[in-house]
A and B are shown apart, each in its own frame.
Chain A
Amino acid sequence: MAEKIKPPRMKLKRRIKQNEIFKVKVRFDHPSFTGLGMVDENEELFNRAIPSTFIRNMLVYYDDELVSRFRTSSAIADNPLFTFKLKAVKEAPVKIVFIDDQGERWETSKDVKFRT
């Protein structure tokens, strides 16, 4: 399964004014399943069905400094779109790291470039 997962995609404005508050959009397609099934309808209890799989953390680095973390659970979608804002204090890369519940890791990065 894991080999089919493509790296996350990130969007931000090509040129940003210094000290501007800018938007970052990140999209990551990763399967999301609690791993639970319901075999006995009368009991209405969940049993373990298959191994779970979901994004457990998204880390945001700006110039290699950890500036934010999103902790997620098996309730997350399988194609989540994250939007958040940062302040353009320097020309440096914004790096997004995703880690799933099996400890697998993906990353993507884009440079903040000032408009002159």
Chain B
Amino acid sequence: MSKNRITIVAVLVASLAAATGAYAAKVVEEIQIEGMVSPASPKALTAALEEKLAVKVLGYEFYGTENGWPILKVEFDSGAVSKDQIEKVIDSTKDPSGTSFRVHRGQVKIHLPLLEEETKADGVFAAESPDIGQLTNPIPASADSHTRGQELYVKFCSKCHGMNGNGAGPSAHGFSTDPRQLWSWYQADKSADPYLFWFITNGRSDMPPWGVILSENQRWDLVNYIKTLAPPTN
């Protein structure tokens, strides 16, 4: 559904509410959803919710959400319907393929920590420390470099590392290693550049080797850009 359509629906609902007073205690809730497996999924969930409860599905957000899980935006009259009821309907509805929808409540971890046994094995079979070399970043961290870096980042990196570098992009799922939180490099000094350039170039585990795709200058622009990704303030 396009953004425009969502806005129009919202405006219509608002004016209807003003005219009739039907949505006196109108609230909008955002609910994280598991089970969005195919294009038929959002349609099925919307139909179930609107059929069973007096709610209005405003839309879904699939990409760029805070922790990577899709978000359902739903509007309802809190006097007539409770969030609890909505969640119950979600939890008892199935996608046409048979996959159950679930409210994502945060306790299903994407990656649990390694067992002690695995950490030990990592120690035994650890890769030798890489030869990063002494490189100097030839691209000044200018506004131009930032713009180029941002464009590349959104296109190639945000799927895994998240728009803001939180490591929870929509595709960051089912990996054997989590994408790192890139904001840990916020305002790092020049001494971090060779490592970042080396890592971006060569990749590791689920991190692709961008050296085969992006030019050297593009990779340096990304190094400059990563260092501007600020951690959240709260």
Name A residues whose Cβ lies closer than 8 Å to a Cβ of B: 33-41, 43, 45-52, 54, 56-57, 59, 66, 69, 71-74, 97, 99, 101-103, 105
Chain B residues with CB under 8 A of A97: 117
Residue of B nearest to A36 (CB): B173
20 contacts between A and B (CB under 8 A): A33-B174, A34-B173, A36-B174, A38-B38, A38-B39, A45-B159, A45-B171, A46-B159, A46-B170, A48-B170, A49-B41, A50-B37, A50-B99, A57-B118, A57-B121, A69-B121, A69-B125, A74-B176, A97-B117, A101-B176
In angstroms, Cα B148 to Cα A43, docked, is: 22
Could you say which residues of chain B place their CB within 8 Å of the CB of A51? 34, 108, 110
Q: Find out whether the CB atom of A48 lies under 8 angstroms from the CB atom of B176.
A: no
Question: Number of contacts between A and B (CB, 8 Å)?
Answer: 105
With known contacts A46-B171, A50-B99, A73–B206 Cβ distance under 8 A: yes
Assess the B41–A73 pair: CB atoms within 8 A: no
Question: B124 an interface residue at 8 Å Cβ cutoff?
Answer: yes
> Which size class do B's interface residues fall under?
35 or more
Which of B's residues lie within 8 Å of A, judged by CB?
34-39, 41-42, 60, 62-63, 68-70, 99, 108-115, 117-118, 120-121, 124-125, 159, 170-171, 173-176, 205-206
Indicate if the CB atoms of A99 and B117 lie closer than 8 Å: yes
16 new A-B contacts at CB < 8 Å, known A45-B170, A48-B70, A57-B121: A33-B174, A37-B36, A37-B38, A38-B38, A39-B36, A39-B39, A46-B171, A47-B62, A47-B70, A48-B34, A49-B37, A49-B99, A69-B125, A74-B175, A99-B115, A103-B114
Specify which chain B residues have a CB less than 8 angstroms from the CB of A50 in the assembled complex.
34-35, 37, 99
Q: For A35, A48, A52, A71, which residue has the most chain B Cβ atoms within 10 angstroms?
A: A48
Distance to closest chain A CB from B11 (angstroms): 24
Nearest CB of chain B from residue A32's CB, rounded to whole Å: 9
Interface of A is mostly: loop
- Give the contacting residue for A73; candidates B34, B35, B113, B175; CB below 8 A: B175
Which A residues lie within 8 Å of B159 (CB)? 45-46
Chain B residues within 8 Å of A48, by CB: 34, 36, 68-70, 170, 173
Residue contact B176 to A73, C-beta cutoff 8 Å: yes
Shortest Cβ gap from A41 to chain B (Å): 6
A37 contacts B37, CB within 8 Å?
yes
